Amino acid sequence: MIKMLSVVLLVIHFTSGCLWSQSEQVFADIGNLPLTSGDTLYSCRIGYRTFGQINEKEDNIIVYPTFFGGTTQHLASLIGKNKIVDSSNYYIIAIDALGNGISTSPSNYPMKSFPPISILDMVNSQYKLLTEKLGLKKVKCIVGGSMGGLQVFEWLNAYPDFMQRAIPYLGTPQPTSYDLLFFKGLSEILKSGIRNHYPENDLHLIRDIYFSINANTPDFRNEKTPRKDFVSFFEGITGKPGNEVFTIENSIVQLDAIVKYNMPGDRTIEEVAKRTKAGVFVIVSATDHVVNPAPAIEFASALKCKLLILENNCGHGAISCEMARVSKEISCFLEE
């Protein structure tokens, strides 16, 4: 009876203003958030969206944090039948990461200066949302890609008992020097632009071109964009207006969080893997030019967990090139 009552209360809590109109943007005020830097993020606000229905046993909950520059509105396109996770079987809580322009970020922070944040700070804010605001003690799975994959690895390290399963895809537990060059290089370019008073739209253009060069492999770009179509392809990048949500200051905050990320710290990846309690499914791209797959592969090898190496020529976009296969593999993993 007590168990049934708790389920009813949980459903009522979610449906009153949250699930009642599913997939709409909602917010939770989680109060002041102590940061790993020693600073405090005051009056922290976390955005999230929900998809699907929670079941009676409360054992079908999946948490899905956002990627670099991504919002939960973007994640909506990755949720559903034959996609990353299926909302017809699972109750998915997609969470906007700090610094993305939806959750507390430089662009919406009421204080004069925004303190530096880390990947762990993003995870801690999500933990406060899930436990203190939504009353959850455990979830079925945490899944995330790219910077979302970094957050999944950090969840495994910081809150190993909170999830039964974890699926980091196109992420890493420890950025390589190549990764650091990519992310720190872009951060420094954007900071230089701010110091030299470049227009915001020009910096958006620089950021978008930088990512477009590295997002896929040369073979993929040459295959998908014949030389005669280059002008229209390039205009598709440069013709976009500046992103009013993911501003340049927001970009820098998330880039710097990625650069600082080092989940093992002074330990080896193997030592960290041995502390992992959840079942893990690691997905990487062999041709990734944004996040080098080697540390994630090393983690999977040390843990002896399920590993999928996509070997197409799509680079960091490897998932979208094999979505049907990835969706099936994830579904089977969740049902094991």
Domain annotation covers residue 238: no
Domain annotation covers residue 43: yes
Q: What percent of the chain has pLDDT over 90?
A: 90
16: pLDDT confidence band, cut at 50, 70 and 90? very low
Predicted pLDDT of residue 274: 87
**Total domains, the chain:** 1
Please give the full DSSP string across 175-200, using - where no structure is assigned: --HHHHHHHHHHHHHHHHHHHTT--H
Rounded mean pLDDT of 185-204?
97
Predicted pLDDT of residue 3: 34
Overall residue count recorded for the chain in this entry: 336
Domain annotation covers residue 229: no
What are the helix and strand counts (H, E) for the chain? 13, 8
Domain annotation covers residue 223: no
How many whole angstroms separate alpha carbon 265 and alpha carbon 168?
19
Tens digits of per-residue pLDDT, 77-124? 999 999 999 999 999 999 999 999 999 999 999 998 999 999 999 999
Residue type, 334: L
Predicted pLDDT of residue 110: 92
Host H or E run for residue 113: none
120: helix, coil or strand? helix
Domain annotation covers residue 228: no
Q: What percent of the chain has pLDDT over 70?
A: 93
Residue ranges making up the domain that contains 303: 2-177+259-335
Please give the full DSSP string across 42-70, using - where no structure is assigned: EEEEEEEEEES---TTS--EEEEE--TT-
Rounded mean pLDDT of 253-264?
98
Domain annotation covers residue 122: yes
7: pLDDT confidence band, cut at 50, 70 and 90? very low
> Looking at the predicted structure, is the pLDDT value of residue 322 above 60?
yes
> Looking at the predicted structure, is the pLDDT value of residue 319 above 60?
yes
Q: What is the mean pLDDT of the chain?
A: 93
Domain annotation covers residue 126: yes
Rounded mean pLDDT of 240-255?
92
Angle, CA 89 vertex, CA 84 and CA 90 arms, to 5°? 70
Domain annotation covers residue 184: no
Tens digits of per-residue pLDDT, 71-89? 999 999 999 999 999 999 9
CATH of the domain at 289: 3.40.50.1820
